[in-house]
Structure 1
Amino acid sequence: MKNKNLSFMTQAAMIAAIYVVLTYIFAPFSFGEVQVRISEALTILPIFTPAAIPGLFVGCLIGNILGGAILPDIVFGSIATLIGAFFTWKLREQKPVVATLPPIISNIIIVPFVLRYGYGVTLPIPFMMLTVGIGEVISCTVLGLIVYGALKKYKGTLFRTA
């Protein structure tokens, strides 16, 4: 049991670290009304391990802090990623493209309101839902399915817990 918990925490920490690094490296287009957050490609990982759920949440939290986000963005943006990761895990038995939908939907619903009420962006909320959604489709579906394709042959072994 101890090794299983250690393995889970190690996986979560590694996923968080990779998320932070990708968010930080690609910061110029990881934030704003039009964003393609490359690190969101990792939201496919709950298909492989439930450790990705806290890993993605913590990674997003730290990435937002290091990226200079304001408190509402740090909190609600990270919650959007947490919700997306949890429901991706719940859909893990579905086709991978279906499992990419929860982070897209949660970000489409939450992020435009953060942009409006946190940052004072005056663009129409439906327009920001569209721009955030396009960025999320690129990150979660296009890039996420590339990540899935690279890892699927290791499913059941790569993220195995002791």
Structure 2
Amino acid sequence: MRNSTKKIVKTGVVAGVYAAVTLAFGFISYGTIQFRIAEVMTLLPLISKEYILALTIGCFLANVIGPYGVPDIIFGTLATFISVYLVYLTGKTMKGKKGYVLIASLWPTIVNAIIIGIMLNKLFGVPLILSMLQVGFGQFVVITIIGVPLFKILENKYLKLLK
């Protein structure tokens, strides 16, 4: 019972933090060019697969309250789920190999560029390639440029506490 309670609490806290950070920085979290700061957390499935659910729920909550309604609730949440699942699989198959965190960080960029790029193209008529490049750029900056070094700094000291 204690272990399952701990998992539920961690899931709720991570989901809540993801949603709160996304909404707090809403002015840069949504749009054709977006820097969703909470996406830095998409590297958490490298630590444990339970963060897949937490991040998916957090994204769902942020998108329910966000400005794009049902399309973002469905496709944004789907993009996050696919992304963090691929991050988890990369960690599971490559952990310990040089560059595995960097490789894992590219999945959210690729998946969101495609799914959210298409969604924004359909919603706002932004040219598809431009939309994909803009979303991919924001993801790359937040997750790979900021998130990977942050993950590496925290990995040995603090991330073990998150297991």
TM norm. shorter chain > 0.5: yes
Equivalent residue in structure 1 for 2:113, among 108, 115, 118: 108
Paired residue secondary structure (2:160): coil
Structure with more relative contact order (C-alpha pairs < 8 Å, separation 6 or more): 1
Identity across matched positions, percent: 29
**CA–CA distance in structure 2, aligned partners of residues 43 and 145 of structure 1:** 10
Normalised by the length of structure 1, the TM-score is 0.90
Computed over aligned residues only, the root mean square deviation of the Cα atoms, in angstroms, reads 1.5
2:104 matched residue in structure 1: 99
1:135 correspondence with 2:138? yes
C-alpha deviation, 1:18, in angstroms = 0.9
Deviation (angstroms), 1:155: 6.5
CA shift digits 1:94-113 (9 cap, x unpaired): 52111111111110110011
Residue segments in structure 1 that go unaligned for 5+ positions in a row: none
Runs of 4+ in 1 over 4 A off after TM superposition: none
Whether the aligned pair in 2 keeps the contact of 1:44 and 1:147 (CA below 8 Å) is no
Whether 1:144 aligns to 2:143 is: no
How much does 1:26 deviate?
0.5
CA distance in 1, matches of 2:120, 2:145: 24
Amino acid in the other structure paired with 1:103: P
C-alpha displacement of 1:17 = 0.9
Normalized per residue, the structure richer in helix is 2
Displacement, 1:142?
Answer: 1.7
1:59 corresponding residue in structure 2: 58
Which residue pairs with 1:16 in the alignment? Answer: 15
Relative distance call for 1:156 and 1:20 in structure 2 (3 A) is closer
Q: Distance in 1 between matches of 2:153 and 2:14?
A: 16
Q: Which residue of 2 aligns with 1:123?
A: 126
Instruction: Judge conservation of contact 2:118–2:132 (CA < 8 Å) in 1.
Output: no
Q: Number of aligned pairs?
A: 157
Give the SS at the match of 2:162.
coil
Residues in 2 aligned to 1:157 and 1:100: alpha-carbon distance in whole angstroms: 19
Aligned ranges for residues 76-87 of structure 1 at < 5 Å?
A: 76-87=75-86
For the structure 1 residues 156 and 126, does the alpha-carbon distance in structure 2 shift closer, same or farther, using more than 3 Å as the test? closer
What's the counterpart of residue 41 of structure 1? Answer: 40
